[in-house]
Amino acid sequence: MVKVLVSDPIADKGLEILEEAGFDIVYNPNPSDDELQALVSDTNAWIVRSGTKITAELLKDARNLQVIGRAGVGVDNIDIKEATNQGVIVMNNPDGNTISAAEHTIAMMMALSRNIQLGHMGIVNGEWNRSNLVGNELKGKILGVVGLGRIGREVIKRAIGLEMKIMGYDPFVNQDVFDQETVTLVDLDTLTQESDYITLHMPLLDSTKHLFNAERITAMKSSARIINVARGGIIDEADLAQALNNDVIAGAAIDVFESEPLDMNSPLIKAKNILLTPHLGASTHEASEGVSFGICRQIRDFILDDKLSNPINMPITDMAQLKQIKPFLELAETLGKIEMQLAESPVKSVSVECFGNIEDSKPIALSFLIGLFHDMTDNRINFVNAGVIAEERGISFSHSLNTEPVSFANLIVAHISTDEGTIEVAGSVFGDQHPRIVDIMGYEVDVRPEGNMLFVQNKDVPGVIGKVGMLLGEGGVNIAEYLLSRTPNNDFAYSVIKFDGEINEDLLEKLKNVDEILTVKQLHV
């Protein structure tokens, strides 16, 4: 009999699904570490929320474990790497909390606008300060939505009902997804400067950490307010507190924090015009029931029908096949990372073409999408959900096998289309099984994509290499490789420069200001 361990509280509606499936359910919410270690040894499926920490040590003891189900979104409490190493599938349930988080956003925005918390505290303290608590209507105000995933779109639906004007920003979403008269997509700077309210709905990544710092907050209207029900760390808390206290902006409503529970010494505690809640975005009875029902149904469908829903990692089932195609998958993922960094505007379409001895283009193309979306979300992008994510963002996606003869035993040619034009990069796997970039925008190269690189397009005239080398040398940058490509009857050349360390923004600007240089991009692979 299939044994299912549930080590965090979940709704009865979810447990009923497991019971009806005939599983042996071990319901032990909030167990001790010793109890967990004893329970997991013969467990087939494991359901948790955020309370249970699934460590590498526990996973190594769980010899029969096939699948972990997280009732909710975040999987920080699960060692994903070790689960993958052990061949254990990890699923989450990202939809169950969507409505609750969106409604909490609207509630925070309205409470902030009408001074609800201050009014309540005043009455409790024996005050009647109506004149000091004059609020603002939402009708006609500009709401800037940063992050246009599921929750962001639900917030938009409700804001439209409030007759607000909507601006949106998401580097992975095109205007085609929305009616422009309803939602206008703009760059982040424009959204920051023109919005009356800004609400954040993106993951916490290296690229989004402290996205709203002193500089960006200062760029907001003095009458503007900011709401964060997404992830702590997107806003620099010290900078926000200082801005509020100095009346740089009119208010903030914060539900998530860099460290939770919030330290009572945090500058946010005593900041002016702030509304704080203890991470309540998903804390509704309906959300609790929804994620419980959803994850139990996913576990049931996987065990009984091998159906995968919302997997976080890729199950390893055929090691021989994995080893055979792994170099191609790694190459395709690298091409995706490179092209996303080369893109100057949102991606509209993706096309992946395979030549030579590659027999199936679909996993290659999905690997390319995994690389393309690498920095888009804090959830792992995988072979199952990569195509769905592309569709959600209005990105058309195609792949094909081409039998035309080429100069390589295998060749992957990847194109992305943006408003700025088409980007094409091609790669091959040589006999040493290492991926190589062999073509960039029609320029032949031969470079192993690794570490930090500069992609430089320049006029094909004497002296360019010398100028670039001199500037890099003056900046303390040691060049490891300098690869120059020229094409016949072309006035331009393309260079790939590999170097030690990292190039700072000042040095990049100096390179861009060289008269002969057309474009410079620093890439991290």
Active site residue 339: no
* Rg from Cα positions in the chain: 26
**Is the C-alpha dihedral spanning 214, 219, 225, 226 positive or negative?**
negative
Of 210, 279, 374, 380, the catalytic one is 279
Among 319, 463, 310, which Cα is nearest to 380's? 310
Residue 418 near residue 172 (C-beta atoms within 8 A): no
Active site residue 415: no
Mean per-residue pLDDT, 112-119:
93
Cβ-in-10-Å burial (0-12, 13-18, 19+) of 19 comes to middle
Considering the entire predicted model, what is its pTM? Answer: 0.72
Query: Tell me, what's the pLDDT at 87?
Result: 78
- Burial profile 67-104: b = 16 or more Cβ within 10 angstroms, e = fewer: bbbbbbbbbebbbbebbbebebbbbbbbebbbbbbbbb
Residue partners of 53: CB distance under 8 A and separation at least 6: 77
Cα–chain center distance at 195: 23
Q: Pick the range with the lowest mean pLDDT from 127-131, 208-212, 380-384.
A: 380-384
> Other C-beta atoms within 10 Å of 134: how many?
8
Confidence class for position 314, pLDDT limits 50, 70, 90: low
- Whole-angstrom CA distances from 461 to 360, 466, 484 are 43, 11, 12
Of 104, 150, 153, 231, the catalytic one is 231
Confidence class for position 73, pLDDT limits 50, 70, 90: confident
Mind listing the pLDDT tens digit for each residue in 443-462? 999 999 988 899 999 999 99
Q: Which residue has the higher pLDDT, 205 or 17?
A: 17
Q: Which two tokens stand for residue 412?
A: 């992957």
Active site residue 279: yes
Cβ-in-10-Å burial (0-12, 13-18, 19+) of 299 comes to buried
Residue 39 in this model has a pLDDT that exceeds 90: yes
Tallying the residues shown for the chain, one arrives at 525
Confidence class for position 378, pLDDT limits 50, 70, 90: low
Query: Tell me, what's the pLDDT at 320?
Result: 56
Cα angle value 376/378/382 (rounded, 5°): 75
Mean per-residue pLDDT, 73-91:
85
* Ordered structural domains, the chain, with CATH: 3-96+286-305 (3.40.50.720), 98-276 (3.40.50.720), 319-449 (3.30.1330.90), 451-525 (3.30.70.260)
Residue partners of 88: CB distance under 8 A and separation at least 6: 59, 62, 65, 66, 67, 68
Of 57, 127, 215, 260, the catalytic one is 260
Q: Which two tokens stand for residue 492?
A: 């331009």
End-to-end Cα, the chain, rounded Å: 46
Residue with tokens 């190459």: 331
Residue 360 near residue 186 (C-beta atoms within 8 A): no
Helix axes 285-305, 12-20, angle to 10 degrees: 20
Confidence class for position 486, pLDDT limits 50, 70, 90: confident
